[in-house]
Amino acid sequence: MSIALPRRRVIPGFGLTMGFTLLYLSLVFLIPVGAFLLYTATMSWETFWNAVTQRQVVASYKLSFGGSLIAATINLVFGALVAWVLVRYRFPGKRLVVALVDLPFALPTAVAGIALVTLYASSGWVGQYLDLFGIRVAYTQLGVIVALTYIGLPFVVRTVQPVLEDLEAEWEEASASLGADRLTTVRRVILPALMPALLTGYALAFARALGEYGSVVFISGNLPFRTEITPLLIVAKAEQYDYHGAAAIGTVMLLAAFLMLLVINGLQWWTSRRYGQ
Amino acid sequence: MTTATTVLETQDTLAKRWRRATEEPAWLRLTLIGTALTFLALFLVLPLSVVLYGAFEQGLGVWYAAIRDPDAMAAIRLTLLIVAIVVPLNTLFGIAAAWAIAKFEFRGKPLLISLIDMPFAISPVVVGLIFVILFGSQGWLGPWLSSHDLRIIFAVPGIVIVIAFGTLPFIARELIPLMQQQGKEEEEASLTLGASGWKTFWHVTLPNIKWGLIYGIILCNARAMGEFGAVAVVSGRIRGETNTMPLHIEVLYNEYMFTAAFAVSSLLTGLALVTIAIKSLVEWHDERRQRLAVL
Amino acid sequence: MSIEIDHVNKHFRDFVAVDNVSLTFREGELTALLGPSGSGKTTLLRIIAGLEQPDTGRIRFHGEDTTDLHVSQRGVGFVFQHYALFKHMTVFQNVAYGLTVRPRRVRPGKAEIKRKVMELLELVQLDWTAHRYPHQLSGGQRQRIALARALAVEPKVLLLDEPFGALDAKVRAELRRWLRRLHDEIHVTSVFVTHDQEEALEVSDRVVVMNKGRVEQDGSPEEVYDHPANPFVYQFLGNVNLFHARVHDGVARIGDVALPAPEYEGYRNEQGQAYVRPHEIEVFADAQHQDALHAKVELVSVVGPTVRLELRTDNSEALVHAELPKYRYRALGLQQGGDAWIRPIHSRVFLPDSQVSNG
């Protein structure tokens, strides 16, 4: 009496949903990306290397990676602060503020781009005051950082917020009852608990900033060697039918994105192992 | 907190400077709130205001004329056509993927989830480039396509596919955790009561994921309408033909037609505001349900 | 409708959940599947329902093979541990669900559904909750609604997974008796899973004790409690004292006490373990019986009408637990810290290497 039965699942629809998922994912995403990587792979190493190490391209890496790093760091600090304020304090209009945090996520990047350049141009609402102190934002590297900060703003807030909400008050009470002052409690109890979320948010903001195009191109002014970000170079090369050059730089950006995903997944894996969630 | 502070104030007369273990002193609290709100005002409220101000500065008539401009109308029509194709496809994908992932166990599930997340991390510009290299006139399939008189790049199909790629994860990412958290007990209960798979999905699963699905769809829609970088690469910016709304905004801006640029922007901004309003509604709904579940 | 489980096996990865189980649940009986967590009882229940597929083996309802029948066609009423009530439907809609999802041809009319649902809600005494939502009900009420929902489709068998597990003690005891009365009214073949031996013994016609995926014993509550088949069942069903015993020719000896052990007729001088329940130990205040063992009373605890004693015998390292009625305890005049004499009046001996089948 040991006849092996064919595998059958109780809840129906596995074949249908899985089939459609894989088909759609393959057609829209996997096959095109695979073909693209294959295209790059057919290039000679020399073509590839020359394309990705042109002086103008290297200058754009510096701006893209450096600017994204700075923007993500600004978001790390202010995102944590915003999350703290939104979770712990009450003030009029808080619901509205909570909702607004997602704006950079929902507002088209082109709209954000023209809004930012209008604000920070030397005649703009903010730019005219900054001008008094000799600070120029529009058409400078500072402008790139402003746009990348804007675009990464929701990430740290949104990853830290739920963790902060779930933080047991008992921890802080225990810390205080053991004689710690408030600053010590924040430093020794709260920050370590938030660390994985902070890092994840940081990585997400960085990854998003790295690939950003729309909100940056208006405010940056796109001066070669000065304010050209890497995605802009890709667009420029594609428009000039320099597919090899574009594909080579695109592959570098693609690999950087995969690497960031790996880091983020690793962080989440580490968090779940360490905190058992 | 208003009631709590009044209680604290009356206590203050008894025990000066009494403070809860989880609270900061008032001056610090106010400083932190002030700093956070200034930061948010600078980065969120001002850009929003400048768009709306720019759009309506010269009155409703000018705004309306800018929208009714034939090129603007063509861009709006094209954008609506594209989301009418992309959003239903990505909705089907999101529901199918969430069903497969949340209701079944299979090998490689974490890998599949990561794959679904991936388009989100890829630069929109690279997304556009991928399809230019596949289908462009100098691309891999270019010669074959032109010999069969098919156009993908610098035409609507190309725009549809890059937007589908770019907005692929949004609905699935919304539904997967939601359905995983709800488990499969209710579906099993429905099946033991004799319901078919479709009926179970329709009467039991769908009502449970309704709000998350609505938010996913509206977010996917907003992102699809606003997609810029990827479309910029594949569209060719042919006025009245392959210009979507964001591209049209860029064109207007570069031609120094700022009011018109902001007028078209105000439509997309309105959509973005509706999107985050619906998100707040969904969250509010969830909170209420969780509160009720605790009772 | 009888249920026959025929050589069923089920494993999850390396874990053997159900290990070659064969059982028959007779028509109209209320059976408890009793066992510790991880014993495979819930898996077995879900296999009967068609919510899990067995690796091998067959399930038959009244002789008809249902192993390959989909859960939605199998006609079982399943009550989930956490009720699985549909949150977005009212109580009425929940109970009516099984009827409203039938294909149009066999779906009862609106009025008929309404009549039926209200009848069931009256049966579970919750007709006044018809228009409420599940979250507005208490745990015990949700449990009864889940039961009404399962009964609405007129199931051939009723399966309940830890039906009282999530409820507090008082509600649990009430619902338990209520379920028994309900079963006597409707007489549908029912199987429920529990890890609570008291619940199993009180409610069911029959108890199946499971451990590590296997059936340890299958019998009436009295049989299982009074004649456990093996040490596991003995220990799982209630407290028990272990004594060293010597078995010789149908007699077991614990110290000087000789007790009949007819199942060991013909055995010679075997060492084994005697299992004695606390209420099977007689306690005396003086040495009136010469074979009784001397012990010190270490702890006296009065639990309502019974008194539990912890005693230490002269040559034993383990405590002996004894239970006696309060009046008897008073009559004896025992004192904490004082002397007592004890004598087992009934025991069951298991030899280390041989397991005797149910005696």
Calculate how close chain C gets to B295, using CA atoms only, in Å. 7
Summarize pLDDT for C270-288 with one digit per residue, the tens: 888 888 888 888 888 888 8
Q: How far apart are CA B255 and CA B265, in angstroms?
A: 15
The answer to whether position A73 is within a domain reads: yes
The answer to whether position A42 is within a domain reads: no
Digits of tens for pLDDT over chain B (295 positions)?
Answer: 344 444 444 444 444 455 666 678 888 889 999 999 999 999 999 999 999 999 999 989 999 999 999 999 999 999 999 999 999 999 999 999 999 999 998 999 989 998 998 998 899 999 999 999 999 888 888 888 888 888 888 899 999 999 999 999 999 999 999 999 888 889 999 999 989 889 999 999 999 999 999 999 999 999 999 999 999 999 888 877 889 999 999 999 999 999 999 999 999 999 999 999 998 988 888 888 777 665 5
**How would you class A136 by CB atoms within 10 Å of its CB: exposed for 0-12, middle for 13-18, buried for 19 or more?**
middle
Which of C37-41, C96-100, C251-255 is predicted with the least confidence, judged by mean pLDDT? C251-255
The answer to whether position A26 is within a domain reads: no
CATH architecture type of domain B60-294: Orthogonal Bundle (1.10)
For chain C, the domains span: 3-236, 241-350
Quick one: pLDDT band at residue C315, thresholds 50, 70, 90?
confident
Query: Nearest by CB to B280, which of A25, A95, A125?
Result: A95
- CA atoms C228, C233, C234, C237: torsion sign: negative
Q: What was the pLDDT predicted at B61?
A: 92
Q: What was the pLDDT predicted at A2?
A: 40
Q: Tell me the CATH number at A262.
A: 1.10.3720.10
Summarize pLDDT for B182-216 with one digit per residue, the tens: 888 899 999 999 898 899 999 999 999 999 999 99
Domain C241-350 sits in CATH at 2.40.50.140
Q: Does C213 touch chain A (CB under 8 A)?
A: no
**C-alpha distance from residue B98 to each of B89, B177, B230, C295 (Å):** 14, 8, 26, 66
Q: ipTM of this predicted complex?
A: 0.90
Amino acid at B244: T
Calculate how close chain C gets to B174, using CA atoms only, in Å. 20
**C-alpha distance from residue C231 to each of C217, C239, C273 (Å):** 11, 12, 9
Q: What was the pLDDT predicted at A275?
A: 61
Q: How many pairs of residues across A and B have Cβ atoms under 8 Å apart?
A: 284
Query: What pairing do the DSSP bridges indicate for beta strands C270-276 and C348-350?
Result: antiparallel
Q: Does A169 touch chain C (CB under 8 A)?
A: no
CATH architecture type of domain C3-236: 3-Layer(aba) Sandwich (3.40)
Query: What pairing do the DSSP bridges indicate for beta strands C64-65 and C281-284?
Result: unpaired
Question: What 3-state class would DSSP assign to A136?
Answer: coil
The answer to whether position A155 is within a domain reads: yes
Q: What was the pLDDT predicted at B13?
A: 44
Give the rounded percent of residues in chain C with a pLDDT score beyond 70.
Answer: 97
Subunit partners of chain C (3 or more CB pairs within 8 A): A, B
Q: What is the DSSP string of B49-73?
A: HHHHHHHHTT-HHHHHHHHHSHHHH
Domain span at A218:
49-275
Summarize pLDDT for C193-218 with one digit per residue, the tens: 999 888 899 899 999 999 999 999 99
CB A62 within 8 A of CB B5: no
Amino acid at C279: H
Digits of tens for pLDDT over chain A (277 positions)?
Answer: 344 444 567 888 899 999 999 999 999 999 999 999 999 999 999 999 999 999 999 999 999 999 999 999 999 999 999 999 999 898 998 989 999 999 999 999 999 999 999 999 988 999 999 999 989 988 999 999 999 999 999 999 999 999 998 887 767 776 776 667 777 778 877 888 888 899 999 999 999 999 999 999 999 988 889 999 999 999 999 988 899 999 999 999 999 999 998 998 888 888 777 665 4
Reading the block at residue B97, the tokens are 């993927």
SS3 per residue for C56-116: EEEEEECCEECCCCCHHHCCEEEECCCCCCCCCCCHHHHHHHHHHCCCHHHCCCHHHHHHH
| A13 interaction partners in chain C (CB closer than 8 Å) | none
Q: What was the pLDDT predicted at B23?
A: 74
Q: List alpha helices for A167-242, DSSP H.
A: 169-177, 182-185, 191-211, 214-220, 230-239
Q: Does C19 touch chain A (CB under 8 A)?
A: no
